[in-house]
Amino acid sequence: MLPVYRDKDTIIHALHPLAAILLLASLLAAVLLLENPLYLAVAGAGLAALVFLAEVSREVRPFLRLGLFLAFLVLIVNPLVNHRGDHVLVYGPRLPVLGRLDVTLEALVYGAVSGFRLMLVVLAFGLAGTALNPDHLLEVLSRISFRSSLSAALAVRLYPSLVLEAREMRDVQAVRGERLHGGGRWERARAQFPFWLALFQGSLDRAANIAESMTARGFGNGKVTRIRRAFRPRDAIFSFLALGTMAVAVISSIGKSDYRYFPALSNPLRGTMIWVPAVMAGSFSILVIVGRCWKRWPWWRSRI
Amino acid sequence: MVTIRRNRGELRPEQSLAGPVAGGARASALRALRYLSIFAMFFVIYLGVRDVVPFSRWSVNSLLLALLLLLVLFLRYEEKDFGAREVAVVGALAAVGAAGRVIFAAVPGLQPATFLVVLSGYVLGEESGFLVGALIALLSNIFLGHGPWTPWQMVGWGLAGFSGGLLSRLFRGKVRALPLALLACVWGFLFGWIMNLWFWLSFIYPLSWASYVATCAASFWFDLLHATGNLAFSLVLCRPMAEMLLRYRERMEFRYLGDGEWLRT
């Protein structure tokens, strides 16, 4: 189980859901589109700065571990299936399907950078999962798809009561002498089935009750009321910089900064678009400064 | 089934129990948006094949495609204009599936959610099945961790639910345990292959059949466990759960009677 959202007094937690989504999208665009490892490292540093700004460095640690594990997998798989590159490090045996298992320096570096990229993507989702309120994100979704987001909201609300009910049922089963943990595999599995059926039945009954009360309250009768969240200057600043970062990532992927891994590694410092990491670093720095000032100065907080 | 007599001046059916019917402009707008999304999907594929940057980056391209496919299916659900009972039962089933997934998270590959999704699609229809699947991924990942895999899991389970609905059409809604179990078993592998597709497109180079087969081979035992688990869950739980769902559907079903029709019933 990974840490979930907790309300905190930071600018990231206080963002308008639309600005928060833009911020996440810009991080993903930067991480997925940038090929040059140097630019990717700048995007990673920016992401780390946002994690500290959101004060969720402890919460995202499990995401970091998960990302490292996945990055390791990518690092292992890539040199096994990719034998391109001029610099062969190890001459391997020939295997069916995979071919000759030569390990090249280029494939190894590509695997390492891809792994790093995957770790950053996981970290970005970790930041979103721990610092962005899921209820607020559902609100945005409800504007596009009202019924599905209502179902999602109901599921989110039903989940804790379902877990509580499951725990109570487990207690009852234990009191009745059913062996839930000990005994043979078959005995344990057999004890599971009535539990799942009862849980399923209970949730359907609850759904019927909810449907009745929704109907009684006039569901679908007239316009839907919505909470209007003010789009404050801080949201405008974050949205503007997020869009800027996204545009820079797209331009970089279109332009000549395209870094090449094969047949030989290019020099990451050589390129006509060295302004790309500079612009990104500038954007992230402004976000951090705005966020720190928001935290420290009540006057600034009241203004934005 | 409950029959309700409707007099003149009472609420129209679309205003009361069944929820609003998306008529006129709203329905047209939803349909237009859905067709636009389908067109955008093909356009994104075209740009990717034509090597137009940034669409030629398959990590970005595939993510866009997954999101567009989800949008298309969500809009299809929205177009159906389901009432309170469907909205509530989809939420409840998603919560059960998410709980099951979180509880079984310790056993890699074993996912009771897949069987539940296929069954939901079979009994409640393609759209509801899709939504149950998509919401299970969305909700359970709040606890298990959201990541770049979330849209793909939503697509995988959503399509599993959708296929359940299609299978039900084949058997005209009658519950058949064996075909359901087989479909759930097949989805054990298909789900794994969809997840591998994401991993392969985003982080493996070069994109060749050999590298995809190698990626699938790495996950074979997990997929096998998933498929076997689905088969076992389906064979044991299919009938009682399907009966419960059918009972729910029947309990909440109603039909409006026209003027004087109640005298004839």
Cβ-based contacts of B219 with chain A (< 8 Å)? none
Look at residue B7 in the predicted model and tell me its pLDDT. 44
Could you list the mean pLDDT of each consecutive 10-residue stretch along chain B, which spans 265 residues?
46 42 71 92 90 80 90 87 85 90 76 90 91 92 84 94 92 85 94 90 80 85 90 88 87 72 67
Q: Do B19 and A220 touch (CB under 8 A)?
A: yes
Look at residue A265 in the predicted model and tell me its pLDDT. 80
CB contact set of B73 (below 8 Å; sequence gap of 6+) = B127, B130, B134, B158, B162
Averaged pLDDT, A62-81: 88
| B61/A145 Cα distance (integer angstroms) | 23
Contact B119, B245 (CB under 8 A): yes
Cβ-based contacts of A115 with chain B (< 8 Å)? 203
Averaged pLDDT, A125-134: 89
> Long-range contacts: A18-22, Cβ < 8 Å, 24+?
A18/A140, A18/A231, A18/A235, A18/A239, A19/A231, A19/A234, A19/A235, A19/A236, A19/A238, A19/A239, A19/A242, A20/A128, A20/A132, A20/A136, A20/A137, A20/A238, A21/A137, A21/A140, A22/A238, A22/A239, A22/A242, A22/A243, A22/A246
Averaged pLDDT, A176-198: 72
The confidence band for A180, taking pLDDT boundaries of 50, 70 and 90, is low
Cβ-based contacts of B240 with chain A (< 8 Å)? 197
How far apart are the CA of B186 and the nearest CA of chain A, in angstroms? 22
Structure tokens at A178: 């059913």
Averaged pLDDT, A23-31: 91
The C-alpha angle B230, B110, B205, rounded to 5 degrees, equals 105
The confidence band for A49, taking pLDDT boundaries of 50, 70 and 90, is very high
Q: Do A33 and B146 touch (CB under 8 A)?
A: no
Nearest to B232 by CA among B104, B133, B52: B104
User: Quick one: B237 exposed, middle or buried, by C-beta within 10 A (0-12, 13-18, 19+)?
Assistant: buried
Structure tokens at B142: 């709040």
ipTM of this model?
0.81
The closest CB to that of B236, out of A117, A193, A203, belongs to A193
| A15/A153 Cα distance (integer angstroms) | 20
Is the pLDDT score of A175 beyond 90? Answer: no
Provide the H-helix boundaries in chain A: 17-33, 37-53, 61-81, 105-131, 134-144, 146-175, 185-216, 233-254, 275-296, 298-303
Distances (CA, A) of A60 to A5, A88, A116, A122, A129: 11, 37, 16, 10, 9
The region that residue B172 occupies, defined by phi over 0 for left and psi between -120 and 50 for alpha, beta otherwise, is left
The closest CB to that of A128, out of B146, B203, B237, belongs to B146
**Interface check A80 vs B, CB under 8 A:** yes
Cis ω for the linkage preceding B206 (within 30 of 0): yes
Nearest to B69 by CA among B190, B166, B151: B151
Please, what's the b/e burial string for B239-255 (b: 16 or more CB within 10 A of its CB; e: otherwise)? eebbebbeebbeebeee
Q: Do B54 and A250 touch (CB under 8 A)?
A: yes
How far apart are the CA of A211 and the nearest CA of chain B, in angstroms? 5
**Interface check A193 vs B, CB under 8 A:** yes
Bridge partner residues of A103 (DSSP)? A90
Cβ-based contacts of A157 with chain B (< 8 Å)? 91
Place of tokens 């725990």: A167
Give Rg (Cα) of chain B. 21
Percent of chain A clearing pLDDT 70 (strictly above): 92
Contact B129, B115 (CB under 8 A): no
Q: How many CA atoms lie within 13 A of A261 on its CB side?
A: 22
Q: Dump pLDDT digits (tens) for A77-122.
A: 888 877 788 888 888 777 776 677 788 888 899 999 999 999 999 9
**Interface check A118 vs B, CB under 8 A:** yes
Nearest to B113 by CA among B161, B71, B175: B161
Cβ-based contacts of B217 with chain A (< 8 Å)? 97
Look at residue B6 in the predicted model and tell me its pLDDT. 45
Please, what's the b/e burial string for B182-211 (b: 16 or more CB within 10 A of its CB; e: otherwise)? ebbbbbbbbbbebbbbbbbbbbbbeeeeeb
Look at residue A255 in the predicted model and tell me its pLDDT. 65
Pairing of strands B254-257, B2-5: parallel
Put simply, whether the predicted model's pTM sits higher than 0.90 gets the answer no
Look at residue B18 in the predicted model and tell me its pLDDT. 40
Averaged pLDDT, A269-276: 77
Is the pLDDT score of A186 beyond 50? Answer: yes
Distances (CA, A) of B149 to A4, A87, A135, B159, B185: 17, 33, 21, 15, 21
Higher pLDDT, A190 or B195: B195
Averaged pLDDT, A205-227: 82
**Interface check A174 vs B, CB under 8 A:** no
Distances (CA, A) of A265 to A35, A71, A105, B56, B120: 12, 20, 9, 20, 51
Look at residue A258 in the predicted model and tell me its pLDDT. 64
- Could you give the maximum distance between any two Cα atoms of chain A, in Å? 74
Averaged pLDDT, A163-182: 79
Look at residue B111 in the predicted model and tell me its pLDDT. 80
How far apart are the CA of A21 and the nearest CA of chain B, in angstroms? 14
Look at residue A1 in the predicted model and tell me its pLDDT. 66
| A128/A137 Cα distance (integer angstroms) | 10
| B97/A155 Cα distance (integer angstroms) | 10
Look at residue A46 in the predicted model and tell me its pLDDT. 93
- Could you give the maximum distance between any two Cα atoms of chain B, in Å? 72
